[in-house]
Amino acid sequence: MAASFARSAFRARTSNPTARLSTTHATFAARQASPIFRRFLATPRGEQPRIRIGSEAPNFQAKTTIGDIDFHKWLDGKWGILFSHPADFTPVCTTELGAFAKLKDEFEKRNVQMIGLSSNDLSSHSGWVKDINELSQTNLQFPIIADADRNVAWLYDMISAPDLEKLEREGGIAATIRSVFIIDPNKKIRLTMMYPMSTGRNTSEVLRVIDSLQTVDRKGVSTPIDWQVGEDVIVPPSVSTEDAEKKFGNVRELKPYLRYTQI
């Protein structure tokens, strides 16, 4: 990186020392302000991938509590939820995994399989799962990825800005934030949620958005705020009222751009 800075300074040389200093400073400042530059500075493993809705979920191989997996093969044409945890034997994570384990049947009804991730090795995971089952009175069956080296956390951009800055200054290894990725049967990322380490997630909201995504895919509609299964849905602006009435029956128009129907 130092060599890169030196080359930039060399290219900026002029016969005027003041101009040379000004040009070099401006070039460095502009690069510092660039998101790409900042991401590169903070990424000792290369530039960090950018996770976007609609992009293919990055594939990886990892050790888990059910054995070694290839993530894309593990998805196996189903919906998937990948959710991360900062560490084993931590209080918020323990409550979360217990709650998700209790909803196993609800997720299976929706053809969804879950996979957790925690920044510890397998030997730590096994003891933690025992605690989770004891405290939540459940039987956790979905796999938990062992990501002690943070390879998957890095691949899925699960590192907070302060930790990226700390890596830039000091090196070492970063903690993993609470992330949720909902992935469809085509391996496309359909929804992401990012939480700070101090805030637990809401399992009901995860189920709600899966219901919404699956309804949208099946029916070609949109869902309004706080929507739950059985409630009215929104006719997308791209569908005419006439076509919507043919498809769904009654259409309730509040504004030309806001129309509700039942499915």
Alpha-carbon span 62 to 154, nearest angstrom:
13
DSSP notation for 184-253? -TTSBEEEEEEE-TT----HHHHHHHHHHHHHHHHH--B--TT--TTS-EEPPTTS-HHHHHHHHS-EEE
80 burial via Cβ count (<10 Å: 0-12, 13-18, 19+): buried
Which of these is catalytic: 42, 93, 155, 221?
A: 93
Active site residue 30: no
Alpha-carbon span 224 to 260, nearest angstrom:
9
| Residue positions annotated with a catalytic role | 93
